[in-house]
Amino acid sequence: MAYTIPNEADAFQANQAEPDKVDFDIIAAAHKGDGVVSGCAVSERGAGANMSVDVASGEVRVASTVATVSSGNLVIGAADATDPRFDLVVVNNAGTKAITAGTADANPVFPSIPADSVVLAVVYIPANDTTIETAQITDKGVVAHLATKEYVDSAIHFIEDYFFNNTASSYGGIYYKMLDTPTGEAESTFQSGLLGEGDNQALFNFATDAGLPGVTVLESGVYTGHIHARVTLSNKRPVKIHFKVYFRDNGSETLVTTSEESDFLTNSNGEYGLHATLAADVTIATTDRLIIKWFANVDSTPSSNVIVELFAEGTNASRFSVPIPSAVLNQVFIRQDGTKPFSGEQSMGGNNLTNVGELTLVDGASLNLQEAITFTGATGENKIEIPDALADALSFKESGNAYLTFDSRDGVENVLFSKNVRILSGGYIGTPSNTDIMQFGDALVSLTVDLKIVVDNEKITLGAGSDGELYSSGDDVHLHNVTQDADLVFGINDGGVSKTITWDADVDRLKHSAGTFHFDDDHLTTTGDLMVGNIIVTGTVDGVD
């Protein structure tokens, strides 16, 4: 069947050549997949023309349902006595054939398409007609595949170009690569040895990379080889070139088709476009590679042997053009429905990946970054969230060296520092506007903590047993040892010698670790008793009273 709107000169009656609204309804339905799958041709009654038509068996698709249609005869209603009309031959989604009668009119139009039905043909019925003949039947059956992906994939072909270059193929020998993009490199030259008389003398072979073209069928059609070539000197044996196409599975090569010969080569670089026709589809494996082999046919006269040069890359654009079905796009482009995963590494070429939802890595994978992570969300949106109930919920590490670990176990929930913590000049623990802060000096400092430190809004408490307190009261600064019967010790390092002054809580006295206090020229004043051991005087002793 073939959907038709005839030209007026070809029509039984001029009204048949006028597009009707229903014509567009039929086409629109076909683009949704509704129409004829196979068969269902409508014709003049085979047993002799009368007011009926024959319908061949076949299949139709209606709203994704494929219905089988049996052959049979449908009766056309009696013609109007005054005006012509159009009747539709239709089939519904149950496969039932029917005639939908139109309205007789001086300028008739098609009747509407019944629900859940497709149109096979329209029949023109003149006034007072008594027989339906072939010329009165216009085919309106649109093949349903017109709008399906399967039909598009099989009907539309793309030309995939594989550009020759001088990089050796993994096959080695005289095999070179042909890639699906130009290399952009300078011109490369392939020069044969001296060739004597004879046909099918091997020149050079080119192979696709592994996995290309990645189809299961080499489609019937024309395969084109574009090559730049010449002979090195004039007055040598005349030479024509041609190519042969193979597919290769590991070490086995199968000939597919052979091109026509070129014109005789000249001693100037010339472009030759040769064609090889594949009459029928050839089944291959997706792992098979394509091979194109170039050959020379060398004449006998004159007798001087000849050298052939082929040219690729540079400005030559020497290539092999392969017809590829649109289905191969599934292997080339990223599907928007996410059903096809990447088969290799993908480069963004320095461009941004924007509007990303969640980025999920498979277990054991890593995210390698070479630049900064920048948060640009609103307040409360910029977060790094860690999982719950893990001793090592998040770690900052360098090789085997841990720096910072987050423990999210219930009842533990610690941030663990495994290296020194340094707060640079101007840095704070807290915020500069608060009063409960620790501020470090102008130079780079280290904070090393071996005991428990608790900081609240009044004081700093030191020691695992909260033994010491440091706080201010009014204009005074207080340093207290709050543990009962414990001493308060002040120490220095004097040239490697540790020296201390201890406030002994038991006897309420100051003790020097060396046993001696020196006051130099200063006074030691007390309003109570002064109890001392030996007094060593280097000057005078002045007494009062």
Distance CA 308, CA 266 (A): 10
C-beta of residue 312 within 8 angstroms of C-beta of residue 294: no
Distance CA 383, CA 376 (A): 11
Over the Cα atoms of the chain, what is R_g? Answer: 48
Exposure class string for 196-214: b at 16+ Cβ within 10 A, else e: eeeeebebbbbbbeeebbb
The side-by-side arrangement of strands in the sheet containing 453-455 is: 453-455, 459-462, 468-473, 476-481
Q: What backbone phi and psi angles, to 5 degrees, belong to 308?
A: -110, 135
pLDDT at 340: 66
**Considering all CA atoms of the chain, what is the largest pairwise distance in Å, rounded to the nearest integer?**
160
Q: What backbone phi and psi angles, to 5 degrees, belong to 470?
A: -130, 120
Q: Is the pLDDT of residue 29 over 60?
A: yes
Distance CA 302, CA 264 (A): 14
Domains of the chain with CATH codes: 8-153 (2.60.40), 156-330 (2.60.120.260)
Q: Is the pLDDT of residue 366 over 70?
A: yes
Nearest by Cα to 183 from 166, 168, 160: 166
Over residues 120-129, the pLDDT tens digits come to: 999 999 999 9
Q: Of 50-64, 139-153, 313-327, where does mean pLDDT reach its minimum?
A: 139-153
C-beta of residue 197 within 8 angstroms of C-beta of residue 279: no
The side-by-side arrangement of strands in the sheet containing 488-494 is: 488-494, 497-504, 509-512
Query: Global pTM?
Result: 0.41
pLDDT confidence tier of residue 214, bands split at 50, 70 and 90: confident
pLDDT confidence tier of residue 452, bands split at 50, 70 and 90: low
The side-by-side arrangement of strands in the sheet containing 35-39 is: 35-39, 58-62, 65-69
User: Which segments within 259-376 are labelled E, that is strand?
Assistant: 270-278, 282-283, 289-298, 308-312, 319-325
Q: What backbone phi and psi angles, to 5 degrees, belong to 17?
A: -90, 0
Number of residues that make up the chain:
545
Over residues 59-117, the pLDDT tens digits come to: 898 987 889 999 999 999 999 999 999 999 999 999 999 999 999 999 999 999 999 99
pLDDT at 436: 44
Distance CA 121, CA 326 (A): 32
Identify which has the larger pLDDT, 43 or 464.
Answer: 43
Nearest by Cα to 72 from 46, 93, 92: 46
Beta pairing partners, 415: 406
Q: Of 210-224, 268-282, 457-471, where does mean pLDDT reach its minimum?
A: 457-471
Q: Which of 294-298, 359-363, 396-400, 402-406 reaches the highest mean pLDDT?
A: 294-298
Distance CA 246, CA 290 (A): 6
Nearest by Cα to 450 from 439, 438, 464, 460: 464
C-beta of residue 230 within 8 angstroms of C-beta of residue 309: yes
Distance CA 263, CA 270 (A): 10
Which residue, chain included where needed, has tokens 């009204």?
A: 15
C-beta of residue 244 within 8 angstroms of C-beta of residue 290: no
pLDDT at 453: 56
DSSP state of 79: P
pLDDT at 205: 96
Over residues 520-533, the pLDDT tens digits come to: 565 666 666 666 66
C-beta of residue 111 within 8 angstroms of C-beta of residue 124: no
Nearest by Cα to 532 from 501, 509, 505: 509
C-beta of residue 95 within 8 angstroms of C-beta of residue 60: yes
Question: Whole-number mean pLDDT of the chain?
Answer: 82
